[in-house]
């Protein structure tokens, strides 16, 4: 039992010790102080804070409502103390009412601190005096920003010069950024509130713009208009006298005064006197609210500033109560007797001993926290509660409708000025202008600087890849001070191109220098994420005074910035890449359109038809009715002739004999020559390329509106092309967003990859044409009709008078031809790069180019077989049917073979052949020729091999009909006799003369026999004996034999008119 009790006591003591150690480690130090129970009972477990409500009813109601909302949520007091508000209303807005309310109604309640809400500067000074006498912390919350230059200010004890110094820093920074080191001040009524600010401006130095050291802004003159009436005439005369005496006029004029009517009168007079941009810049020296600024509409370029993003009154009251409760909690941990029990001073006599208010003030100065209004802290002497405030710098410009409008050009927060490039108007000679550009060929090129960081050609430009104004300002200050070596080498570039040449020309003619840099994000500018990006964003934020590049003018950008007149006109285009495809079967027909091929063959057959008609209607044609014609020119002959001329075929063909047919034949030859020449010229150009481009007719093509089969197209992000597509074709823009590229070169590169990542790229045609011209492989081409006509202009801050001046010079450059020179300089390049040197290499054509011809040849062979089958079918089926009809037997004008087949039977042909064989058999000659040889006229001539020797020359020859069979024993040729050759020659001449007479007689007979046949059908001439010719050397008449035994009836058939002449013992 004893050991059990001892063991329990041991563990109980150990647990208690552990609990005490944990309490010491985990409990905050402020809670370690023992509760002053007697003090808490004395103050009633509550901390009281007084509130002096304003006398004005509207302000009092607003403040009372804000106090009630704030007190319910703020409590940082220790010991579970509560916060009680002691609110008392001032009877009147005078010092006596303030003192009576504070001494008799607030302090007697034992308040630790008080809140005051002064409505005027006089009331603020009275509260400051009361806090100093009573030694009670009084925090003044000033609601009216127009009467308190820093907006809502919390006063602890006294009003000092801190707010004037803060405003002077803002104004001096504005003057510094503008390059103004001196100026004139004009005072209107109410300027007294800014008296301290003027002293700071005239005495406080600031860092110079070029980094040369601190510079003081110098006050040239002070014009006091407080005694003048609001008469515009008096103010006009006063300003005219002063500025006429001081030449040249000052670069900047600061206007101070709380009277808006006086300020408006001064600015109107300055406008009438011409004391405005670009000579004089006016600046409102005191902060004003946007509502007051809207009453001032002149002059353009006027600068003003004021607080923005002001928090509600509730936020300031909550942060003020939080400040007091935090200070009371901190003071209670050390001296709760002084922090909780109030020992304030008397309203009627001074007190030398330390009071609780003085003790609490020391803790107020050390309190800082992040409240609803931002970071909150108290200055070192507990005179001012500092909060985070934001000021905007505004410039008066014109809106898109031409009306004056205030535009934000900079902001001030935490002692830093962002933006600050607000100088509008014509640059003063000798000043520097900040110019932003964007790399876009051929308008802007870049290259690395030389070893000594110089640019022998082009202009030095900064490529810091940032849009941070502070970083850019620092870089340019270092460059101006000659410390450019500290910059990274990759930031230094040389810019040249079309737009750089134009910028140099403008700088020379307008008399200004410029600093050039490349836009950080590489964008033209679009509204994205609640702000403008790219070039537009830099102009609006004051980073640049001018934007010079291929800057498209569109409605969205024109609403926020200004553009000069266009210096380059262009439109949007579609860029595609060629496809390397094998030549199809019909590639040989590509040089001519299908309609041309159809026209050629129609013309051929029509020409052949007219040749046949002309030949048959002419008395001299190659027809049976022509003069001395042994052959017939039919439609088949005409087709053969026309095809031969068309394809340059050198074969035997019949030619027309009449003059009309010959003339038409020559015209057809000229036509074929021109067609063949054109075909040959286009053949290599069409077939060698083997490059087919994507067929896109334009922006309205179905491939773009309804993309299928993976058709991909895009443009440059945040460009004018994307803005156009977004507005005009929302569905297309939604589809193409995934394929958009950051820059034009990136988009072109996606077309040239293998396989290509894009099928089409939409961008400014001026940029696409240049990309096509420098493409060494000639794989790119612009297709479709141009659309969305636009122009390139120089971007400027909105409604800047500088735009009209630059526009005037651009118009002058156009009229003088300078813009044409720039175009020729930067666009005059060899099309497709070195394509001209590779033509000879690509002219070699393989079998694939002419595969269609081989196919055509195979088709021709197959067609010939079909034609052969058709001939047999015609001969066996159609021909007997035509032969039975007597009126369709005359086919000589169409085909001689069909005509002979219709008018001769097979037995007639066999009999004719037999008779010819009998007639053509010679005594010792060779075998008779084939009876099918009807092509030529053969003459029966004696040859040296078959002529008998002179000793047997007188023997009668054997008859051709009764001649015995020819001996197969070969005869021995006799040697030539003297004079034999001359004798043979004489015989030949005699036979030729007789043959000519026979042919003439035959023609007369044919003409005589043809006339009766035309009159009546089936009226045949009586049989006649075949014509005879004397046998050479014998005087015996030999028959002139024709293959057709019915010669009298078929004399018109010239095909059967081929004849044989028999002679003595020789065969022809």
Q: Reduced to 3 states, what is the DSSP secondary structure of residue 306?
A: strand
Q: CA 525, CA 722: separation in Å to the nearest integer?
A: 11
Q: First vs last Cα of the chain: how many Å apart?
A: 166
Please say whether the beta carbons of 286 and 260 come within 8 A. Answer: no
The CA distances from residue 810 to 546, 805, 886, in Å, are 15, 9, 91
Give DSSP secondary structure letters for 31-53: GTSPP-HHHHHHHTSEEEEEEEE
Please say whether the beta carbons of 653 and 669 come within 8 A. Answer: no
Buried b (16+ CB within 10 A) or exposed e, 736-756: beebbbebbeebbebbeeeeb
Give DSSP secondary structure letters for 523-566: ----EETTEE-HHHHHHHTTS-SEE-SS-B--HHHHTTEEE-S-
E strand or H helix at 176:
helix 162-178
Q: Which residues contact 169 (CB under 8 A, 6 or more apart)?
A: 415
Q: Is the peptide bond before 797 cis (omega within 30 degrees of 0)?
A: no
1056 assigned ligand-binding residue: no
Give Dmax (Cα) for the chain. Answer: 190
Please say whether the beta carbons of 963 and 918 come within 8 A. Answer: no
Q: Is the peptide bond before 257 cis (omega within 30 degrees of 0)?
A: no
**531 beta partners:** 528
Is residue 257 left, alpha or beta, with left meaning phi > 0 and alpha meaning psi from -120 to 50? left
Q: Which residues contact 587 (CB under 8 A, 6 or more apart)?
A: 686, 687, 848, 849, 850, 851, 852
Please say whether the beta carbons of 446 and 495 come within 8 A. Answer: yes
Q: CA nearest 666: which of 636, 633, 642, 631?
A: 642
580 assigned ligand-binding residue: no
Three-state SS for 892-948 is CCCCHHHHHHHHCCHHHHHHHHHHHHHHCCCCCCCCCCCCCCCCCCCCCCCCCCCCC
Q: CA 331, CA 355: separation in Å to the nearest integer?
A: 13
Q: CA 977, CA 805: separation in Å to the nearest integer?
A: 117
**695 beta partners:** none
Q: Which residues contact 1024 (CB under 8 A, 6 or more apart)?
A: 1005, 1048
Please say whether the beta carbons of 776 and 832 come within 8 A. Answer: yes
Give DSSP secondary structure letters for 452-509: TS--SSSEEEE------HHHHHHHHHHHHTT-GGGS-GGGEEEEESHHHHHHHHHHHH
Q: CA 618, CA 962: separation in Å to the nearest integer?
A: 47
Q: CA 776, CA 830: separation in Å to the nearest integer?
A: 10
557 assigned ligand-binding residue: yes
| Residue 434: other Cβ atoms inside 10 A | 20
Q: CA 310, CA 151: separation in Å to the nearest integer?
A: 8
Four-point Cα dihedral 558, 561, 567, 572, nearest 10 = -40
552 assigned ligand-binding residue: yes
Which residue has 């006050």 as its token pair?
Answer: 219
Q: CA nearest 540: which of 425, 407, 416, 435?
A: 407
Q: CA 760, CA 294: separation in Å to the nearest integer?
A: 50
Annotated binding residues for L-glutamate, written as ranges, equal 552, 557, 720, 764
**Numbered residues of the known binding site:** 552, 557, 720, 764
């Amino acid at each position: 039992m004893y050991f059990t009790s001892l063991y329990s006591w041991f563990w109980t003591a150990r647990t208690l010790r552990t609990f005490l150690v944990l309490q010491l480690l985990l409990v905050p130090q402020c809670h370690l102080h023992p509760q002053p129970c007697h003090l808490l009972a004395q103050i009633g477990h509550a901390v009281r804070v007084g509130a002096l409500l304003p006398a004005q009813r509207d302000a009092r109601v607003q403040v009372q409502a804000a106090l009630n909302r704030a007190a319910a949520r703020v409590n940082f007091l220790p010991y579970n103390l509560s916060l009680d508000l002691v609110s008392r209303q001032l009877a009147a807005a005078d010092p006596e009412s303030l003192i009576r309310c504070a001494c008799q109604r607030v302090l007697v309640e034992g308040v630790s601190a008080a809140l005051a809400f002064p409505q005027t500067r006089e009331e603020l000074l009275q509260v400051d005096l009361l806090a100093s006498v009573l030694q009670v912390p009084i925090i003044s919350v000033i609601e009216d920003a127009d009467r308190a230059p820093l907006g809502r200010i919390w006063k602890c004890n006294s009003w000092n010069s801190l707010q004037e110094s803060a405003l002077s820093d803002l104004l001096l920074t504005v003057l510094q950024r503008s390059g103004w080191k001196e100026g004139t001040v004009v005072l209107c009524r109410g300027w007294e509130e800014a008296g301290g600010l003027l002293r700071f401006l005239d005495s406080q130095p600031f860092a110079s713009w070029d980094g040369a050291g601190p510079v003081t802004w110098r006050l040239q003159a002070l014009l006091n208009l407080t005694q003048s009436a609001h008469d515009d005439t008096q103010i006009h005369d006063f300003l005219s006298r002063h500025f006429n005496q001081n030449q040249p006029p000052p670069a900047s004029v600061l206007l101070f005064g709380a009277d808006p009517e006086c300020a408006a009168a001064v600015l109107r007079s300055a406008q009438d006197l011409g004391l405005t941009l670009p000579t004089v810049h006016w600046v409102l020296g005191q902060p004003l609210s946007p509502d007051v600024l809207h009453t001032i509409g002149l002059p353009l370029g006027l600068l003003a500033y004021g607080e923005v993003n002001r928090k509600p009154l509730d936020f300031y009251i909550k942060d003020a109560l939080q400040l007091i409760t935090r200070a009371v909690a901190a003071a209670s941990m050390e001296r709760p007797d002084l922090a909780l029990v109030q020992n304030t001073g008397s309203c009627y006599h001074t007190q030398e001993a330390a009071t609780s208010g003085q003790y609490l003030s020391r803790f107020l100065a050390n309190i800082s926290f992040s409240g609803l209004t931002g970071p909150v802290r108290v200055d070192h002497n507990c005179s001012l509660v500092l909060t985070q405030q934001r000021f905007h710098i505004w410039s008066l410009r014109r809106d898109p409708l031409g009306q004056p409008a205030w535009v934000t050009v900079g902001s001030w927060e935490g002692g830093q000025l962002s933006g600050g490039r607000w100088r509008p108007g014509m640059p003063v000679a000798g000043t520097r202008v900040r110019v932003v550009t964007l790399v876009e060929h051929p308008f802007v090129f870049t290259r690395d600087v030389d070893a000594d960081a110089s640019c022998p050609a082009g202009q030095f430009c900064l490529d810091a890849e940032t849009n941070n104004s502070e970083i850019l300002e620092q870089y340019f200050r270092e460059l101006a001070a000659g410390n450019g070596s500290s910059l990274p080498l990759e930031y230094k570039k040389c810019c040249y191109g079309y737009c750089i040449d134009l910028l140099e020309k403008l700088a020379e003619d307008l008399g200004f220098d410029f600093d050039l840099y490349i836009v950080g994000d590489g964008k033209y500018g679009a509204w994205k994420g609640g702000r403008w990006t790219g070039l537009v964003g830099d102009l609006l934020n004051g980073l640049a005074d001018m934007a010079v590049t291929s800057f498209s003018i569109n409605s969205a950008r024109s609403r926020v910035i200004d553009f000069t007149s266009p210096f380059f006109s262009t439109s949007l285009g579609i860029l595609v890449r060629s496809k390397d495809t094998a030549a199809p079967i019909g590639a040989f027909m590509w040089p001519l359109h299908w309609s041309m091929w159809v026209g050629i063959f129609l013309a051929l057959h029509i020409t052949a038809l007219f040749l046949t008609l002309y030949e048959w209607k002419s008395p001299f044609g190659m027809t049976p009715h022509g003069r001395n014609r042994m052959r017939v020119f039919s439609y088949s002959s005409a087709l053969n002739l026309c095809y031969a001329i068309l394809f340059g075929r050198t074969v035997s063909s019949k030619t027309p004999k009449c003059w009309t047919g010959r003339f038409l034949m020559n015209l057809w030859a000229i036509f074929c020559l021109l067609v063949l020449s054109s075909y040959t010229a286009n053949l290599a150009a069409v077939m060698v390329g083997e490059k087919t481009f994507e067929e896109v007719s334009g922006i309205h093509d179905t491939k773009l509106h309804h993309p299928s089969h993976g058709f991909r197209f895009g443009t440059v992000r945040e460009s004018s092309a994307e803005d156009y597509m977004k507005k005009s074709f929302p569905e297309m823009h939604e589809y193409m967003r995934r394929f958009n590229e950051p820059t034009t070169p990136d988009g072109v590169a996606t077309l040239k990859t293998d396989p290509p990542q894009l099928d089409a790229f939409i961008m400014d045609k001026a940029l696409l044409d240049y990309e096509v011209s420098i493409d060494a492989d000639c794989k790119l081409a612009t297709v479709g009709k141009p659309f969305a006509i636009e122009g390139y202009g120089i971007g400027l801050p909105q409604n800047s008078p500088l735009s009209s001046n630059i526009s005037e010079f651009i118009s002058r450059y156009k009229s003088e031809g300078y813009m044409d020179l720039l175009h020729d300089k930067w666009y005059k390049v060899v099309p497709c790069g070195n394509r001209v040197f590779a033509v000879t290499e690509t002219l070699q054509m393989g079998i694939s180019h002419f595969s269609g011809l081989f196919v055509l040849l195979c088709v021709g062979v197959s067609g010939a077989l079909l034609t052969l089958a058709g001939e047999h079918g015609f001969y066996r089926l159609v021909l007997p049917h035509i032969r039975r009809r007597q009126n369709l037997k005359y086919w000589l004008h169409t085909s001689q073979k069909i005509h002979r087949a219709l008018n001769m039977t097979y037995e007639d042909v066999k009999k004719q052949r037999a008779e010819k064989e009998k007639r053509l058999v010679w005594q010792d000659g060779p075998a008779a020729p084939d009876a099918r040889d009807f092509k030529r006229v053969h003459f029966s001539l004696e040859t040296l091999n078959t002529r008998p020797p002179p000793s047997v020359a007188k023997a009668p020859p054997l008859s051709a009909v009764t001649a015995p069979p020819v001996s197969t024993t070969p005869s021995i040729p006799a040697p030539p006799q003297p004079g034999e050759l001359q004798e043979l020659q004489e015989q030949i001449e005699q036979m030729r003369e007789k043959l000519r007479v026979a042919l003439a007689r035959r023609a007369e007979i044919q003409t005589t026999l043809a006339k009766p046949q035309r009159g009546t059908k089936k009226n045949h001439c009586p049989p006649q004996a075949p014509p005879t010719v004397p046998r050479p050397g014998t005087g015996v008449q030999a028959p002139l034999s024709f293959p057709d035994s019915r010669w009298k009836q078929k004399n018109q058939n010239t095909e059967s008119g081929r004849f044989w002449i028999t002679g003595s013992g020789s065969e022809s």
